[in-house]
Structure 1
Amino acid sequence: MESEAVLSLPVEGRWLFVIIILSADDVGLFEATEFKLARRADVNRDLAGKLMQMIADADLIRLYMVDGKRYGFVPKFRQRLQIQTSKHPLPPREIYQDDSDALNKINKLATRSTVGAPVGSSLTTDGQPPESELELELEPEKKVSESSTPRRRRKATDPVPSCPFDEIVATYHEVLPELPSVRVMKAGGPRHKAIAEFWRWVLTSTRNDGQRRATTTEQGLAWIRHYFGRASDNDFIMAREPRGAGHENWEADIDYLCSERGMRRVIEKTKERT
């Protein structure tokens, strides 16, 4: 409750966050319906929805949908009770993959029953660990070959290096000085969160050959420098081709380049540099 993210919320938002924590199950999952949370927190339903979005923007909770119903996950929940079952459908893996405690608990749950299987997962349900890379990487080091020089890959559960916001922004300014400068960067704000998600994607995604784009901070920054360089080669992004009607004054910026739409434009529609 002393964190900057919590203290940045209005008083009603902090109280709602307490209600969410008390409502969450052992994994940190909760039913994120405005009606129930509003009643528990004794606030207006519309206000509850706005506060919940503020809490999500601060990355104190992460929301997801299952069968048209909204649920939430509290990252770094780290409840130490003996875990038996989850009361709610488990979230997609990208929601919790950076939280090693939740990752281990959810994998244990998901191997027991299809009811709790994460959305989009291929985990087995007969009590045996699945043959997926994610679960294999959770096995002890004895799984590694006894060769004198084993090749160690970065584990899927290894923590992603902290996002170097300042370095990313400085690289953006250096490589793309023609685009709008970054002058506002509020911790926990939409831009801050978008850059953090972009960084996590760079450090956890793989190329077509199955190799990770980056595994260290240095490699991640090098990849982003190359990415911004490719963006500078794109005529649409750099406004070297006419805009469509109604978008004549639109400009690409760091928010666009860190979004999925921007990444598709740069990675899929820009010729690779040689």
Structure 2
Amino acid sequence: MRARDIKPGFFKNDQLADCSMAARLLFPGLWMMADREGRLENRPKKIKGEIFPFDDVDVASLLAELERAGLIRFYEVNGQNLIWIPQFKKHQSPHKNEKSSEFPAHPDDLYGTIAEHEQTKDGNTPEMVGSAPVISGQIPLTPSSLTPSSLSPRDISTPDGVVVGAEAADASQPDEKRQTHASPACPYDAIVGLYHEAFPEHPRVAIVNAKRRGAMKARWAEAGERLRMLDRDTSAAERLDYFRRLFAKASRSDFLTGKKAFRDGTVYRVDFDKLMSPSGFMGVIEGKYDNREVA
């Protein structure tokens, strides 16, 4: 159990109002059991032993109450049942020395957390901090880790899955050459249009505000960098084709398009903002949401 913060507003939380008294008490107890990313194992007996050692309560039912109220989310990864507290990082400030999460992220959390690299004291292998899990051999990348030297194994993938050796990309595109490329202006409306082509059934992007322009501009620059790694043209037309292929790849994902339901029957549908987030963009490129056959 860890020390966590509880704020005065907790007692007037509208989401908790419809929960039983025991469920309300359980909720902050979960904070103390959760790691720094708000994740913990969904093991009702263990949770009861930690939070209600002297009470005869049905923790599984209480967890279901909190899940129905939207305060926690159930998910499963490789047969491991887990719980994620979506608002955890908004209200908690874990100690800087608290150990990184050992659990893979909830699919929604992949968009909210960017995996960061933190160098160890001896300057050797970096430690992964954040929520992006390694799935099917893919390696989580930060936006700043798009240079070939940072990939292991050393290969680079395009959105449609074409893989080339990074050594070749290194040789053909030295740092000096990459830095001198002029970046074409970001065509915001064209990118939005390509999104709607790939996801015609999704809600329309009605407003392109400063936040969305900033996200598109950042992904536009990253697309140019990846194309340069592949010794490809970085014109506006080539970059737009990159976005077209990326959106098409995302549209084939059963998870991102709501065709794959969670155990509770709910589904997830990706939106434009999440595809334009750093982790969402890289998640599609790395194949994190690709359909996989069940053995």
- Using the size of structure 2 for normalisation, the TM-score is 0.41
Which structure has greater strand proportion? 2
Q: TM-score, normalised by structure 1?
A: 0.44
